Structure 1
Amino acid sequence: MTDVTITYCHPCGYGKRAAQAADALQRELSVTTNLVAGKGGIFEVRVDGEIVAKRIKGHFPDAAEIIASVSAVLK
């Protein structure tokens, strides 16, 4: 079974984005996602421990990018 985790910065208010991404992954790929609250500006999507999408300065991955990144690893 594949482990998909989204770690998000709770103090930054990224929880809503994480929940939306998790819903999109469930809808499009039938993937159950674990949401993990963190801090320090983090927003990372991991598949089996490997980072496939993350927030970097000046860029925040949207749901379409996250779905594509996770899908590429699952194939």
Structure 2
Amino acid sequence: MNEVMITYCKPCGYGKRAAEAVDALQRDLSVTTNLVAGKGGIFEVRVDGEVVAKRIKGHFPDTAEIVGSVRAAMK
């Protein structure tokens, strides 16, 4: 079983995006995802400890990108 974790910046207000990603991962892949509140602008999606999607300057992964990245990492 793969461990999926989303770390998001709580002060930045990324909680809603993280929750939407959790819902999509559950709906589309039947994956249980752990949410971890962080700070410093972080938004990272990890599968088994490896970053598969993250916020970088000028880009914020949308829900479809997150689901696709997790799907690919689980194969």
CA RMSD of aligned residues (A): 0.4
- Counterpart of 2:13 in structure 1 is 13
Aligned equivalents of 1:50, 1:5: Cα separation in 2? 10
- Counterpart of 1:69 in structure 2 is 69
**Unaligned segments of structure 2, at least 5 residues:** none
- Counterpart of 1:25 in structure 2 is 25
- Counterpart of 1:2 in structure 2 is 2
How many residue pairs end up in the alignment?
75
- Give the counterpart letter for 1:34 in structure 2: N
Q: Describe the SS at the equivalent of 2:6.
A: strand
- Give the counterpart letter for 2:34 in structure 1: N
- Give the counterpart letter for 2:60 in structure 1: F
**Unaligned segments of structure 1, at least 5 residues:** none
Q: TM-score, normalised by structure 2?
A: 0.99
Deviating 4+ runs (over 3 angstroms): none
